[in-house]
Amino acid sequence: MVLNELGARINGALQALSRQPVIDDKAVDALLREICGALLESDVNVRLVHTLRQNVKKRVDLEVLAASANKRKVIQTAVFDELCSLVDPGVQPWKPRKGKQNVVMFVGLQGSGKTTSCTKLAAYYKRKGLKVGLVCADTFRAGAFDQLKQNASRAHIPYYGSYNEADPVQIAMDGVAQFKASKFDLIIVDTSGRHKQEAELFAEMEQIAAAIKPDNTIFVMDGTIGQAADAQARAFKESADIGSIIITKMDGHAKGGGAISAVAATGSPIEFIGTGEHVHDLDPFSARPFVSKMLGMGDLGGLVETVKDMQLDKNEDMMKNLAKGVFTLKDMRDQLQSILKMGPLSKIMGMMPGVSPEMMRGMDAEDTTRQLRKYMCVFDSMTEKELNSDGRLFDAESRLRRVARGAGVRPVEVQALLHQHRQFGQIVKRMGGPKGMLGKMNPAMMQQMAKNPGAVNPNMLKQMGGMGGIQNMVKQMGGMSGIQNMMQQMGGMGGIQDMMQQMMGGGRGGGGGGGNMQDMMAQMMGGMGGLGGLGGLGGGRR
Ligand SMILES: Nc1nc2c(ncn2[C@@H]2O[C@H](COP(=O)(O)OP(=O)(O)OP(=O)(O)O)[C@@H](O)[C@H]2O)c(=O)[nH]1
């Protein structure tokens, strides 16, 4: 059973319990039977499933709880906590620090996704502002260096490797020395894999580790290997000083229960999971948000992290414009670019509470991304004067045709983009200016928002999780016939405004610091504006 289905089934069992008129031993047994059955079908190790069952039963003492009105809540919390402990060894993974020369070595079997994950990790920390270099010490597989070179070039990450040197230890040492001399913050070394866990592989791993003395060794494991994960994780753990783990190929259809639970049982924390072949398909792993997301309860921490990574600080001009009620074509391009950087839209949506993986199924993220790229070509064909305008310049047919020709699209597609821009521009006009919400923000708040979009009080986020506003919004989304439809509606002015109002209402109710709430709102708007635009893109094509 794939993880999406596992989440839906556990959720279904918990909801069935909520509907039971009487909560007795029979009801708890039925719940546990269903949950444990689902876990086993997802390849979770039988021993761990047994432990989970025992622990929940221990915590749910119906006699003690008899008088409590909150029996269901206690049971649900126990199940949630036990699911979390199933994937959490309780150890924090090592993290590189900027300004320190951190060396990380990757190990794993051939084809597990090591080389791909090296570049993903490099891109992740590059986004966080670290100077990152990649070293290819895989001399076993012909073509490994070319692959790393290609991936690294695409992600604009400096790399080191050799076509002549056959000794992986020498390459690793030379690469690390070169990047250290150039004051890199993080040096990632990719090593060879083998088809099986064999002595030669482990000997090579040890030699490289002894030569470069990594600060952390990351074990990469294929998430699709099911029950075999247990033996593999243990073998690597015994032979190398594994600090943390990346599980790859955990895309929507992966049956990752085996790998996740086996790895957690070895005591090394899972640091990331790979969720696709794209360089941004690497999600930080943390037990509670993971379980929460799997059960369709969202991941607000992840959402903020993503918004932070959108680097709104680079959009200081846009923030100033928005406050004034101005929205140029360049502002729109910058927003869409931020969204593109974050990878597929489904990732952002999946972090919202109430948007279960099931709901995301019909969404064609690839299609949306392709469409977005097309729009980037349109922006690239515009002159600086056109980009800084409100779009009215394009009333001239010849201008429109010139840009369409330059971008290799039909004029009607340029018109669709301009239409989207106009719609959003009207909202900005209403919200900006001295009377609008954005206009009312004081300059210090604006500056904080532009400079440090991540400075969001985590408690406030918790409040947001409990807020009626967001959840209502998400419920509305759920009621629509599909996310794509919702996007289209959001593209329309009414949709965005309703949503904003709901969130504002919730913000007041939540009682969070007013300044923080508004910061958060504006941050989300940075994203939402882009999402609104996306909806229009989809709609324009249909
Ligand atoms: N769907 C999906 N594919 C992935 C993911 N990570 C890696 N892959 C694919 O898995 C295949 C193997 O990945 P590599 O990075 O070449 O594997 P490797 O472990 O470096 O292999 P060796 O260099 O031979 O040891 C490639 O086709 C990758 O695109 C992931 O998270 N999801």
pLDDT at 481: 33
CA 154 to centroid of ligand 1, rounded, Å: 16
- What residues contact residue 101 under an 8 Å CB cut-off, 6+ apart? 179, 180, 183, 184, 185, 187
Which of 511, 501, 441 is closest to 476 using CA atoms?
A: 501
Which of 3, 206, 225, 232 is closest to 108 using CA atoms?
A: 232
pLDDT along the chain (542 residues), means of 10: 75 82 84 91 86 88 66 83 87 89 93 94 92 92 87 92 89 95 95 79 90 94 86 86 90 73 82 88 86 70 59 61 77 75 59 54 60 85 92 90 93 89 76 52 45 38 36 36 37 35 34 34 37 31 25
- What residues contact residue 436 under an 8 Å CB cut-off, 6+ apart? 325, 430
pLDDT at 184: 95
Give the CA diameter of the chain.
Answer: 80
Q: Which two tokens stand for residue 514?
A: 């007013």
Q: How far apart are CA 276 and CA 282, in angstroms?
A: 8
- The residue whose CB lies within 8 Å of the most ligand 1 atoms, and thus the one to mutate among 106, 248, 275, 347, is 248
- Ligand 1 pocket, Cβ-based, cut-off 6 angstroms: 108, 110-116, 138, 141, 144, 147, 193, 248-249, 251, 274-277, 281
Report residue 299 CA to chain centroid gap: 10
pLDDT at 68: 59
Gyration radius of the chain's alpha carbons: 25
Q: How far apart are CA 339 and CA 515, in angstroms?
A: 25
pLDDT at 62: 67
CA 112 to centroid of ligand 1, rounded, Å: 6
Which residue is it, tokens 């680079």? 314
pLDDT at 362: 53
Query: How many C-beta atoms lie closer than 10 Å to residue 514's C-beta?
Result: 11
pLDDT at 254: 64
CA 115 to centroid of ligand 1, rounded, Å: 7
H-assigned helices in 432-467: 437-440, 443-451, 458-466
Q: Is the dihedral of CA 76, 77, 80, 82 positive or negative?
A: negative
Dihedrals phi, psi of 189, to nearest 5 degrees: -110, 120
- The residue whose CB lies within 8 Å of the most ligand 1 atoms, and thus the one to mutate among 105, 116, 189, is 116
Q: How far apart are CA 464 and CA 480, in angstroms?
A: 23
Helix or strand holding residue 132 (H, E): strand 132-137
- What pTM was estimated for this model as a whole? 0.64
Which of 516, 480, 481 is closest to 499 using CA atoms?
A: 480
CA 429 to centroid of ligand 1, rounded, Å: 47
pLDDT at 448: 47
Relative orientation angle of helices 514-541 and 483-491, to the nearest 10 degrees: 110
Which residue is it, tokens 């279904």? 12
Q: How far apart are CA 15 and CA 36, in angstroms?
A: 16
CA 278 to centroid of ligand 1, rounded, Å: 11
